[in-house]
Amino acid sequence: MCTVVIDVPDASAGGDGAVRVLAVRDEDPERPWHPLGEWWPQLPGVVGVHDIRAGGAWLAADPSHARLAILLNRADTVDLPEDQLVSRGTLPLASVTGHALDAAPRTHGFNLVEVVGTSVRVHAWDGRALVTTDLAPGVHMLAHDGIDDPATARIAHWLPDYRAARPSPGADPTWPDAWVALLSRSAELGPDDDRAIIRDNRGHGYPTESLLYCTATVTDAAADVAFVALPSPAHWLTAPGTDVPA
């Protein structure tokens, strides 16, 4: 039940024309992983957050080719045996190396956010149909269901605020500050609140908790990704009154 917020640029607005992304990863804390880095020798230049167990990535980027991909799990109707399924973590790596998705992926359900330069699309797979949507200019939010889905409590609650805090179109390296501040405000709700973005999903039947977040700026020339691990699962504060550094 990860969360992604995406600002898709409007070509008529001027500025640097960058895509800006805030992504929060929810995962089982017992599942081992590596932080953002170059973990795939066969893919020189590709960086990502590495899933040690299956070898894939939650987020991957090819900075020099201006590519970024983020994986969000979703429910599905896949009826293949588990030993015939492929890990969803292969998808971000395939995306940033320019490989197209199969029409019927042999994986459980997913939303795959794919950024190529200043274009953004979302591939949604529910086990029956793969639907690809090109995102229009503006700020969008995605979790385990549809794009900007008002039935998802955190999207209904926070999307208006993220839109109001949309970064200016100029090249401002401090743009993540306003969006991370909203992330901090979300954490004040508590990790069990369904409106929260920093989450503990165990009460909803999933063994996952928020572990980290990344911010990214993608232009036609490059992708720049920053990584922050939370001090403990589903916890934003390191100590009373002390925020995790952005």
pLDDT digits (tens, 9 = 90+) for 210-242: 999 999 999 999 999 999 999 999 999 654 344
In terms of Cα–Cα distance, which of 99, 98, 137 is closest to 20?
137
In the sheet with 223-229, reading across from the earlier edge strand, the strands are 138-142, 3-8, 19-27, 209-218, 223-229
> In this predicted structure, what is the pLDDT of residue 245?
38
pTM for the model stands at 0.93
> In this predicted structure, what is the pLDDT of residue 205?
86
> In this predicted structure, what is the pLDDT of residue 79?
76
Residue 244 pLDDT > 60, yes or no?
A: no
Please name the residues in contact with 40: beta carbons below 8 A apart, sequence gap of 6 or more.
46, 48, 50, 93
Average pLDDT over residues 102-110: 93
Average pLDDT over residues 2-12: 93
Average pLDDT over residues 20-33: 97
Region of poorest pLDDT, from 68-72, 127-131, 139-143, 233-237: 233-237
Region of poorest pLDDT, from 69-73, 165-169, 173-177: 165-169
Give all strands (DSSP E) within the chain, no chain letters: 3-8, 19-27, 33-37, 47-51, 57-62, 67-73, 110-116, 119-125, 130-134, 138-142, 209-218, 223-229, 237-239, 242-243
3-state secondary structure of 158: helix
161's tokens: 């605020």
> In this predicted structure, what is the pLDDT of residue 170?
81
Residue 178 pLDDT > 70, yes or no?
A: yes
CA 77/CA 80 separation, integer angstroms:
9
Average pLDDT over residues 135-156: 97
Cβ–Cβ under 8 Å, residues 143 and 155? yes
> In this predicted structure, what is the pLDDT of residue 164?
97
Average pLDDT over residues 55-81: 93
3-state per-residue secondary structure call for 197-239: CCCEHHHHCCCCEEEEEEEEEECCCCEEEEEEECCECCECEEE
Place of tokens 């953004």: 120
- 3-243 has CATH 3.90.25 classification: no
Residue 174 pLDDT > 90, yes or no?
A: yes
> In this predicted structure, what is the pLDDT of residue 171?
81
Average pLDDT over residues 42-62: 97
How confident is the prediction for the chain on average, in pLDDT? Answer: 92
> In this predicted structure, what is the pLDDT of residue 237?
65
Helices and strands in the chain, H and E counts: 3, 14
In terms of Cα–Cα distance, which of 238, 240, 244, 188 is closest to 213?
244
Cβ–Cβ under 8 Å, residues 124 and 95? no
Residue 177 pLDDT > 90, yes or no?
A: yes
Of 243 and 223, more confident: 223
- Residue 2 — pLDDT band, cuts 50, 70, 90? very high
- Residue 33 — pLDDT band, cuts 50, 70, 90? very high
> In this predicted structure, what is the pLDDT of residue 6?
98
